[in-house]
Amino acid sequence: MTTAGHKTIKLLLAEDNPLVRDLIVKGLEPFCLVEASTDGADALLKVVDTPPDVILCDYKMPGLDGRQLFEKLRAREATRHIPFLFMASRPDIEERLRPLVDGVEDFIPKPFLIKDLVRITKKVVDRLHLEKLQKKASRPGVIQGRLEEMSMIDLMQSLEMGQKSCRLIVQSGGAQGELYFASGQCRDAKIGKLEGDDAVYKVVLWTAGEFEIDFNAANASTKTTTTRNTTGLLMEAMRLMDEANRDTVETP
């Protein structure tokens, strides 16, 4: 989902291959502000000058490689908190990068499809966007926004990634849904008389409306009405959407 809201997140891309660099920039531009670096040394200067919100970095680069860049930034107080995503071959990930778990959001194995890289990176961008909204909230512990800015799938994935406990209220076309999360897992959901998994599948379809995330009401529901974890619920919701779209197309 392309949104103006996500343009508040600045991503620094460090990639020495110009073709790959251009493809990644085009893929990510709808979701965040992208600044590109041609190598590790250039990236280091840019990060020190203006720290980004997240860094997407190739491991093998001439001069300063991705791991050296990571370690130099981790050694500085002002840049040690910046989340990192690494692009690397599977052997390099397993042998050289896995030990750097602290501060590395994810590893993207090469070769990759741009759409897969965008999907993985966007999850981190969504979570960071949610955290920025939380800091700007007018009421402590309460985030408000519009589904046109952040879709239900984006919201639920962000809450799961951030292991958040909260109540999520969604309103669309006069209907209201309530979802309760515990450590990122959607435990309880209801829309009118509908509850549990079916309520989640319905609310995920809403593309316009308003949402409110209340972290103060994390324990307002002790019920468990859902039968899957958040990822499972979203995967099933997307499967049902695909099925419905296929039926619509196939119906003469």
Which pLDDT band, with edges at 50, 70 and 90, does 251 fall under? very low
Tokens standing for residue 210: 């308003």
Tokens standing for residue 197: 């998994």
Nearest to 48 by CA among 67, 73, 70: 73
pLDDT of residue 248: 64
Condensed to tens digits (0 to 9), the pLDDT of residues 128-185 reads 998 888 888 888 889 999 999 889 999 999 999 889 999 999 999 999 999 999 999 9
Mean of per-residue pLDDT scores for the chain = 90
Condensed to tens digits (0 to 9), the pLDDT of residues 78-102 reads 999 999 999 999 988 887 777 766 6
Q: Which amino acid type is present at position 4?
A: A
Phi/psi of residue 225, nearest 5 degrees:
-110, -15
Condensed to tens digits (0 to 9), the pLDDT of residues 197-244 reads 999 999 999 999 999 999 998 788 889 999 999 999 999 999 998 888
Q: What distance in Å separates the CA atoms of residue 79 and residue 194, rounded to the nearest whole number?
A: 47
**DSSP codes of every residue in 200-251:** HHHHTT--SSEEEEEGGGTTS------SS-HHHHHHHHHHHHHHHHHHHHH-
State yes or no: pLDDT of 103 exceeds 70: no
Q: What distance in Å separates the CA atoms of residue 186 and residue 167, rounded to the nearest whole number?
A: 10
* Domains within the chain, CATH numbers bracketed: 5-130 (3.40.50.2300), 139-250 (no CATH)
Which pLDDT band, with edges at 50, 70 and 90, does 48 fall under? very high
